[in-house]
Structure 1
Amino acid sequence: MIGELRPEVGRLLLAEPFMLDPNFRRSVVYLTEYNEQGAVGFVLNQPSILSLKDIIDDVKEDFPVYIGGPVENNTLHFLHRTGEEVDEAKEIGNGIYWGGNFETIKILLEKKYLSSGDIRFFIGYSGWSPGQLEDEMEENAWLVAESHKDFIFHENDNALWAGVVKSMGKKYEHIVNFPQDPNMN
């Protein structure tokens, strides 16, 4: 198995450099659940072509919406830094929260209390059934990295995967230069 860290809530999963699955190619997934029932997370670097106002009729704010993963892509999820201001939000750790009362979120958006540096919206999510992520870890499909809130609310989708890999230290830095398709080397 690649790497020393194991998956856990609040950590990042990085797709190994040669993963060909288009849902996860060079993706960075933030884990929000990890237990005996499986795992749930959100791809942080796959923007969709939609904005929030495209999918929620009574929202006028133009926030980007990301593709959280291939599971239930008819659902909307959000990660934020608003903490206890949003009822029912689940604290993931390090000041990052998942979900909560969407009516409160809409009010905060309307009053301009939230910026793209405070909240990120996702269509769908990434999910693994019991044992599935562990099996993929054994196949070296994922690296695990510590998270930082700057990674969650980053501004450069194209550079996120490489940035997180580099943050893991010199031992991993070299994989940033691997081609996405080894046949093209």
Structure 2
Amino acid sequence: MKNLSPSYLKHQFLIAMPHMADPNFAQTLTYIVEHNANGAMGLVVNRPQELNLADILEQLRPDVEPPARCLQVPIYIGGPVQTDRGFVLHTSDKTFQATVALDGLSLSTSQDILFAIADGAGPEKSLITLGYAGWEAGQLEAELADNAWLNCPFDPEIIFDMASDKRLNQAAKSLKIDLSLLTSQAGHA
């Protein structure tokens, strides 16, 4: 008998298959923040953009010179939705004004976390994105059925302890898959 209850991917990684045509998601690794009957939300975690935390702080508090360490904090393209809005995925050792707990991780969307990171008082580990990825009800399920994505268990080391250009392949390796061996002509079994 087939299990009819939906299987949701909250707190997992989505690995874009090599044939992913959508430029927003080609060669991306996405952390799924929420997934339920109403849809899904995720953050792409392997696409740093030209901005760093100092650039963001100059906009938020122009009268304060950002500490030099902020030049070393990259800002990632989290997805194509609300690209002017910041999302910080971080370890759960600290809480901020707008923080949601996610299975051992936290997601904060208030400016106070950016100031705390800048001032050296932020969470132990964090990743800052502008924008997020969103799927309507049933859309992600359809894309998975279409072989656009693989999913694998979340591993905090991939996000926080690895160079961004290594994250996608490392997540695939957790499934014992070498993405370079998959052709862009993947079909259905």
Q: TM-score, normalised on structure 2? A: 0.80
**What's the counterpart of residue 120 of structure 2?**
112
SS at match of 1:144: strand
Percent of aligned positions with the same letter in both sequences? 29
Q: Relative to 1, partners in 2 of residues 1:111 and 1:52: Cα closer, same or farther, differing over 3 Å?
A: closer
> Is 1:70 aligned to 2:77, yes or no?
no
**Following superposition, which runs of at least 4 residues in structure 1 exceed 4 angstroms of deviation?**
none
Contact 2:87–2:109, Cα closer than 8 Å, also in 1: no
122-131 or 80-89: which moved more? 80-89
Q: TM-score, normalised on structure 1? A: 0.82
Q: For the aligned residues, what is the CA RMSD?
A: 2.1
**What's the counterpart of residue 182 of structure 2?**
178
**What's the counterpart of residue 43 of structure 2?**
42
Structure 2: unaligned runs, 5 residues or longer: 1-6
Larger Rg: 2
2:139 to 104, 110, 132: 132
Q: By how many angstroms is 1:49 displaced?
A: 0.5
Q: By how many angstroms is 1:55 displaced?
A: 2.3
SS at match of 2:11: coil
Structure 1: unaligned runs, 5 residues or longer: 1-5
Write the distance in 1 (CA, Å) between the matches of 2:180 and 2:142. Answer: 24
Write the distance in 2 (CA, Å) between the matches of 1:25 and 1:110. Answer: 31
Contact 1:30–1:152, Cα closer than 8 Å, also in 2: no
Q: By how many angstroms is 1:53 displaced?
A: 1.8
> Is 1:16 aligned to 2:24, yes or no?
no
**What's the counterpart of residue 141 of structure 1?**
148
Q: By how many angstroms is 1:24 displaced?
A: 0.9
Contact 2:44–2:133, Cα closer than 8 Å, also in 1: yes
Q: By how many angstroms is 1:90 displaced?
A: 0.7
Contact 1:145–1:168, Cα closer than 8 Å, also in 2: yes
